Structure 1
Amino acid sequence: MMTNLFSSFDPSTSLYFPFNWLSTFLWMIFIPLSFWLIPTRSLSFWKKILFTLHKEFKTLLGPKALGSTFIFISLFSLILYNNFLGLFPYIFTSTSHLVMTLTLALPLWLSFMIYGWINNTVHMLAHLVPQGTPPVLMPFMVCIETISNIIRPGTLAVRLAANMIAGHLLMTLLGNTGSSISTSLISFLLITQILLLILESAVAIIQSYVFAILSSLYSSEVT
């Protein structure tokens, strides 16, 4: 019996070996598939998704935006692979930890801020005061906009980690009750777990998309 409710999400918890964070690199096994002379249907479908994302990011970033769309497509792919691989049994979900999500969000946000304040200082100062703000409220708006800007990497990281760990925790709690419930309720439990797995698959896609889209929007604001 677990002494801690979140012990199943602890990086030191492992069934066979303690190298849980190595699961972050499992997405690399999909790289050789892209070098096939005749791509499979799944690879062609994935390329269509990436091309659609490229067009969408290009629209959001604009012609003068910082960075390339490939940065955010790679970010989307990395988070999506880790989210999906975490749904398989005995695979550690690295995106459910703030260590992983902050590692992705903080350097991106910091690089955008450094670039914006060095190259577009007037533009960054103008962002602190929304257009049409009364002169009396300008000091308060500067404080509010500064705080909202500073907490952006934290909100990005917490949003992804909290959404991933919430569904996994619910599935873990329901799975642990399987040995103690009656036989007549086992089928109901299995149906519930399958529905939760479908929901978690949708959450994995949505959260990776939201993370990449918000990062691209933060990038477009500094130019």
Structure 2
Amino acid sequence: MMTNLFSSFDPSSNWSSSLNWTSTVLGLMFIPPAFWLIPSRMNMLWTLVIKTLHKEFKTLLGPKIKGSTMIFVSLFSMILYNNFLGLFPYIFTSTSHMALTLSLALPLWLSFMVYGWINNTTHMFAHLVPQGTPPLLMPFMVCIETISNVIRPGTLAIRLSANMIAGHLLMTLLGNTGSMLSTYMVNILLITQILLLLLESAVAIIQSYVFAVLSTLYSSEVN
């Protein structure tokens, strides 16, 4: 039994705790084999999305690292279907939990930092002091740039999980008031919930895109 409102975002708060994290790989089960074999409309649409993302990530990354755009396209795809799965009733939204978002953001950021400091040490030191900084402010700018660099994985993880939690929480709060409303107000509530569901669908796409683009920008800075 749920003990409080926020327990719905806790993977161990109900009897199916061992099944909650299956939503992370559940999207692969919904993809029929024909999707990969026949150039259906869905296949053509998804191919167009992948090509568009590939071109954009390639522009951000530059010509130095080849093939890395597929990593960020795969990251976008994984976060996208997890966000959409969370919109279905009784399916745990794994991207609303810091255990998943931080597990995605921290290894990416750490690998960028290790690669940058080993291969482009001078370039990484130059990033700590923006061009045109007065000599008196250089020690402060180094501290500020270091802190802003260190908190990047945290901001990536918190941004994704907080946006997914906020919309679900609002829909839960409004949905719990339905039994206490009149018939007229229930109709208004249904329209509001549908609009919120459309908004959450847009947020699911935007947040997965933001996560992938920011990861791409962080990787382009170390080259």
- Structure 1 counterpart of 2:52, which letter? T
Judge which range, 192-201 or 26-35, deviates more.
Answer: 26-35
Q: How does 1:12-161 map to 2 (within 5 A)?
A: 12-14=12-14, 18-29=18-29, 30=31, 32-36=33-37, 38-65=38-65, 68-161=68-161
Runs of 4+ in 1 over 6 A off after TM superposition: none
Judge which range, 8-17 or 88-97, deviates more.
Answer: 8-17
- Is contact 1:66–1:220 with CA below 8 Å preserved after alignment? no
> Which secondary structure state, in structure 1, belongs to the residue aligned with residue 4 of structure 2?
coil
Deviations 1:46-75 (A, max 9, x none): 110010000000000001148610000000
- Is contact 2:2–2:14 with CA below 8 Å preserved after alignment? no
Q: Which runs of 5 or more structure 1 residues have no equivalent in the other structure? A: none
- Is contact 1:86–1:92 with CA below 8 Å preserved after alignment? yes
- Structure 2 counterpart of 1:87, which letter? L
User: How far off is 1:3 after superposition?
Assistant: 3.3
Rounded to whole Å, the distance in 1 between the matches of 2:105 and 2:184 is 46
Deviations 1:66-120 (A, max 9, x none): 8610000000000000000100111110000111100000000000000000110
Instruction: State the match for 2:189 in structure 1.
Output: 189
Rounded to whole Å, the distance in 2 between the matches of 1:17 and 1:3 is 15
- Structure 2 counterpart of 1:10, which letter? D
| TM-score (structure 1 length as normaliser) | 0.95
Rounded to whole Å, the distance in 2 between the matches of 1:189 and 1:15 is 30
Q: How does 1:156-167 map to 2 (within 5 A)?
A: 156-167=156-167
Rounded to whole Å, the distance in 2 between the matches of 1:3 and 1:128 is 47
Deviations 1:131-185 (A, max 9, x none): 0000000000000000000000000000000000000000011111111111221
Rounded to whole Å, the distance in 1 between the matches of 2:91 and 2:174 is 18
The alignment's C-alpha RMSD in Å is 1.5
Rounded to whole Å, the distance in 2 between the matches of 1:66 and 1:176 is 50
- Structure 2 counterpart of 1:148, which letter? S
User: How far off is 1:2 after superposition?
Assistant: 4.9
Rounded to whole Å, the distance in 1 between the matches of 2:15 and 2:197 is 22
| TM-score (structure 2 length as normaliser) | 0.95
* Equivalent residue pairs, number: 222
Q: Percent identity?
A: 75
- Is contact 1:14–1:20 with CA below 8 Å preserved after alignment? no
